[in-house]
């Protein structure tokens, strides 16, 4: 055979070998890489380090520790309503602990029940609580609130306010799910479900709304709208709404209380 | 190995390396991101579970009963294990085969994660300490991330298919493109082989302006140069053959006469007059042979030596030439007219004098009544002319009269002891002076031969220094 042809054939064979060898070499590297990745261990701190706010949070069961202005409430609600990605986290400086959140929730239910003549809360109810925050994109921190409502503190100072405790109490015939701002200790949303198997409670929606808004210190004369099973108060020229809704099924009466900017 | 095979192999190997590197980086990065996402998700799940356990502890105001662990575990996300403060296992619903192992770095405010591989399954475990009241415990959750590992394995498998398919397809495309690229080089090779076999007229058509077109252009120029040179060499060889043939003929003719007369003198008894005639023929032919050998010597010398041109007064040179031919002119009853413009020219004195004497001798042989020898300045040049009003030269002969041994009228030349080398010698001398002889002739009117020399000095460049 011609010398050049032999050289060509040998070259082609060697190249094919190199191509196959390259493949197996890459697979081996990938396998080693996987072993390294799967042998990695990691530790992360669950409590983010955030500097103390000016007021701080007291140790025991006290509500409304760090008041927020109307403008700030509107701003925080806007973030809650526009951000969907929720992440759980440990409470950090300036936020309620689980015990404080549970105590705040219990106290709020008792007070509301008293003022609005609802079935009272019974000790021994099962409680479940977790603290979440919306993952904030920088643009959401740009205030969209009218300056007429007041000033809004800076991002670092306001960070604890964006987290909220979801506290759920449950006992036979009664359940309540409360959204408590982790910094102010105020209940900003609540869903109360009452069993009507035995008796049906006479719910005064306006009274319940007044009790809800008083707990938020939103008691000034504002526009009240009542429409059947819904009552709402408007604040800051409509920038903030406090709403109470009731609905009922055959065996459950539901009361929804919430603040909204919509 | 052929060039196109080399190109195909190299390109395929480079492509292979690029694909493998890209695939490796892509799969590694993708796998890292997937593990990172799973880790973030597991931490999030751990955090929710931790809150749930804390809530249970807070609601119960103490550690749950053993039977309550099951109930609590059912409310949690994922598979879990509980450990007491002294790291004793309290409860686990982890898959069988997975050893509930609490790492040393478990702490209250941290979440530690690590990977477990059991029974062809991969788990991501996150653990930490849950402290609520006076009953702290350790919580460990395990998430099955086998789908991520399986996804990676599937990705490698798909990558393998893509890798080999791409290589085969690319090799085919590269082979096709390389064949197209190499085609002009093959044409070039074929043309070179044809040239090597003697087809010097072979040329390549070129299109575009790439390197191969440039190479083809260069090849065509080289082929043209080779063809010209071969033509020149062929012509030179033919001239040499003609020269040798003419030389042999020119030697043979006088020698035949010499031998014939010598034989006659040797073998016959001749009268004094006959002896004298025979001796006269022998002398005449001997003189021809001598002239022939001298001219040949001059030609050989001209071919071998480098001459240095010097700045000479033109009129003096022409005067010498005129004086050299004066006796012959006077003997023939001719009139030599001279007119020399004063100037300095670059010339080799003896050679240029020989040239002029040859030209004047030829003029005398053309049987004229008058001969003119003139030198005139034309710009930066000095033009020497020899003109006669003799027989003239036929137009078709003018191009060959400077060839060696070429004679317009052989019988007359032989009678005048000519060898046909005078003008060849003169042409060679003219070339050494940077010009060639220019002939203009009309039959029955006369001939003019002129030569141009470079001159030096003066406002026109040719002012006399004399």
Name the token pair of B137: 């415990």
Tell me whether residues B111 and A43 touch, CB distance under 8 A. yes
- What stretches of A117-222 show up as alpha helix (H) in DSSP? 155-158, 205-215
Which residues of chain A have a CB within 8 Å of the CB of B48?
88, 130
pLDDT digits (tens, 9 = 90+) for A20-38: 999 999 999 999 999 998 8
Strand partners, B338: B373
**Segments of chain A with pLDDT less than 70:** 1, 47-65, 120-123, 136-145, 197-201, 219-223
Contact partners, residue A41, CB within 8 Å, separation at least 6: B103, B105, B112, B113, B114
Nearest-neighbour CA in chain A from B112: distance (Å): 4
pLDDT digits (tens, 9 = 90+) for A6-24: 888 888 899 999 999 999 9
- Output the pLDDT for position A58: 47
Q: What does the alpha-carbon distance between residue A32 and residue A30 come to, in Å, rounded to a whole number?
A: 5
Nearest-neighbour CA in chain B from A240: distance (Å): 31
| Beta carbons of B431 and B437 less than 8 angstroms apart | no
Name the token pair of B420: 């046909």
The bridge status of strand B335-340 relative to strand B370-378 is: parallel
Q: What does the alpha-carbon distance between residue A262 and residue A81 come to, in Å, rounded to a whole number?
A: 9
Mean pLDDT by runs of 10 across the 466 residues of chain B is 85 94 95 92 90 84 65 83 86 80 77 85 89 80 91 94 94 90 87 89 83 87 91 87 74 78 87 88 80 71 71 88 83 90 86 86 88 90 92 84 72 62 81 87 91 69 48
**Of A72, A241, A61, A257, the residue nearest A157 (C-alpha):** A72
| Size of the A and B interface in Cβ pairs below 8 Å | 116
The angle at the Cα of B136, spanning B38 to B67, to the nearest 5 degrees, equals 85
Name the token pair of A66: 């760090």
Tell me whether residues B51 and A99 touch, CB distance under 8 A. no
Tell me whether residues B13 and A15 touch, CB distance under 8 A. yes
Four-CA torsion B247, B252, B253, B258, nearest 10 degrees: 130
Instruction: Label each residue of B276-322 as H, E or C.
Output: HHHHHHHHHHHHHHHHHHHHHHHHHHHHHCCCCCEEEEHHHHHHHHH
Nearest-neighbour CA in chain A from B137: distance (Å): 16
Nearest-neighbour CA in chain A from B198: distance (Å): 26
Q: Which residue of B has its CA nearest to A85?
A: B44
Name the token pair of B156: 């490698």
Stretch 127-146 of chain A: residues touching chain B, C-beta under 8 Å? 127-131
User: What are the CA-CA distances from residue B112 to residues A45, A48, A49, A121, B313 (Å)?
Assistant: 9, 15, 18, 39, 112
In total, chain A counts a number of residues equal to 262
For A115-127, letters b (16+ CB in 10 Å) and e give: ebebeebeeebeb
Q: Which residue of A has its CA nearest to B167?
A: A19
| Beta carbons of A79 and A137 less than 8 angstroms apart | no
**How many Cα atoms within 13 Å fall on the side-chain side of residue A128?**
14
Which of A46, A134, A175 is the best substitution to test chain B (most B C-beta atoms within 10 A)? A46
């Amino acid at each position: 055979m011609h010398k050049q042809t032999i050289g060509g054939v040998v070259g082609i064979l060697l190249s094919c070998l190199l191509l196959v060898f390259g493949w197996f070499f890459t697979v081996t590297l990938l396998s080693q890489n996987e072993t390294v990745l799967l042998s990695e261990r990691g530790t992360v701190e669950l409590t983010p380090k955030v500097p103390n706010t000016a007021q701080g949070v007291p140790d025991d069961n006290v509500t409304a520790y760090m008041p927020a202005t109307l403008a700030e409430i509107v701003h925080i609600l806007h973030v809650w309503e526009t951000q969907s990605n929720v992440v759980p986290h440990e409470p950090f400086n300036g936020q309620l602990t689980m015990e404080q959140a549970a105590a705040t929730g219990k106290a709020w239910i008792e007070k509301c029940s008293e003022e609005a003549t609802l079935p009272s809360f019974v000790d021994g109810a099962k409680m479940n609580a977790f603290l979440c925050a919306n993952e904030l994109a920088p643009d959401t921190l740009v205030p969209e609130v009218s300056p007429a409502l007041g000033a809004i503190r800076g991002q670092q100072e306001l960070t604890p306010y964006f987290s909220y405790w979801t506290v759920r109490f449950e006992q036979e015939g009664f359940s309540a799910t409360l959204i408590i701002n982790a910094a102010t200790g105020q209940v900003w949303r609540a869903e109360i479900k009452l069993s009507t198997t035995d008796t049906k409670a006479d719910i005064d929606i306006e009274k319940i709304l007044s009790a809800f808004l008083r707990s938020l210190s939103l008691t000034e004369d504002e526009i009240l709208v009542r429409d059947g099973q819904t009552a709402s108060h408007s604040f800051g020229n409509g920038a903030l709404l406090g709403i109470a809704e009731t609905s009922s099924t055959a065996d459950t009466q539901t009361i929804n209380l919430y603040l909204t900017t919509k | 190995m052929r060039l196109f095979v080399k190109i195909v192999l190299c390109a395929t190997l480079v492509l292979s390396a690029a694909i493998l590197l890209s695939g490796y980086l892509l799969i590694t990065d993708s796998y890292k991101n997937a593990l990172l996402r799973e880790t973030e998700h597991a931490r999030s799940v751990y955090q929710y579970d931790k809150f749930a356990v804390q809530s249970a502890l807070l609601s119960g105001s103490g550690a749950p009963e053993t039977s309550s662990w099951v109930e609590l575990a059912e409310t949690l996300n994922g598979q879990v294990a509980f450990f007491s403060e002294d790291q004793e296992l309290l409860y686990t619903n982890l898959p069988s085969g997975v050893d509930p192992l609490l790492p040393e770095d478990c702490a209250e405010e941290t979440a530690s994660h690590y990977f477990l591989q059991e029974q062809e399954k991969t788990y991501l475990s996150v653990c930490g300490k849950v402290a609520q009241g006076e009953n702290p415990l350790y919580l460990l959750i395990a998430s099955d991330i086998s789908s991520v590992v399986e996804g990676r394995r599937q990705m490698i498998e798909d990558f393998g298919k893509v890798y080999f398919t791409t290589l085969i397809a690319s090799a085919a495309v590269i082979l096709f493109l390389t064949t197209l690229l190499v085609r002009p080089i093959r044409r070039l090779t074929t043309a070179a082989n044809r040239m090597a076999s003697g087809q010097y007229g072979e040329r390549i058509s070129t299109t575009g302006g790439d390197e191969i077109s440039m190479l083809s252009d260069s090849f065509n120029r080289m082929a043209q140069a080779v063809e010209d040179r071969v033509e020149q060499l062929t012509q030179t060889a033919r001239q040499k053959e003609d020269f040798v043939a003419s030389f042999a003929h020119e030697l043979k003719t006088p020698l035949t006469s010499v031998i014939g007369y010598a034989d006659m003198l040797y073998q016959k008894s001749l009268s004094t007059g006959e002896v004298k005639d025979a001796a006269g023929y022998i002398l005449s032919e001997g003189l021809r042979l001598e002239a022939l050998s001298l001219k040949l010597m001059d030609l050989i010398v001209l071919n071998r030596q480098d001459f240095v041109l010097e700045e000479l007064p033109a009129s003096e040179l022409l005067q010498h030439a005129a004086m050299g031919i004066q006796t012959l002119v006077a003997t023939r009853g001719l009139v030599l007219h001279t007119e020399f413009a004063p100037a300095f020219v670059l010339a080799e004195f003896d050679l240029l004098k020989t040239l002029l004497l040859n030209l004047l001798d030829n003029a005398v042989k053309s049987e004229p009544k008058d001969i003119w020898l003139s030198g005139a300045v034309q710009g930066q040049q000095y033009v020497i002319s020899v003109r006669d009003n003799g027989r003239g030269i036929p137009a078709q002969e003018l191009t060959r009269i400077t060839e060696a041994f070429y004679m317009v009228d052989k019988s007359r030349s032989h009678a005048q002891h000519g060898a046909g080398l005078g003008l060849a010698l003169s042409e060679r001398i003219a070339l050494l002076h940077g010009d060639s002889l220019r002939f203009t002739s009309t039959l029955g009117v006369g001939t003019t031969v002129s030569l141009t020399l470079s001159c030096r000095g003066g406002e026109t460049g040719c002012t006399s220094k004399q």
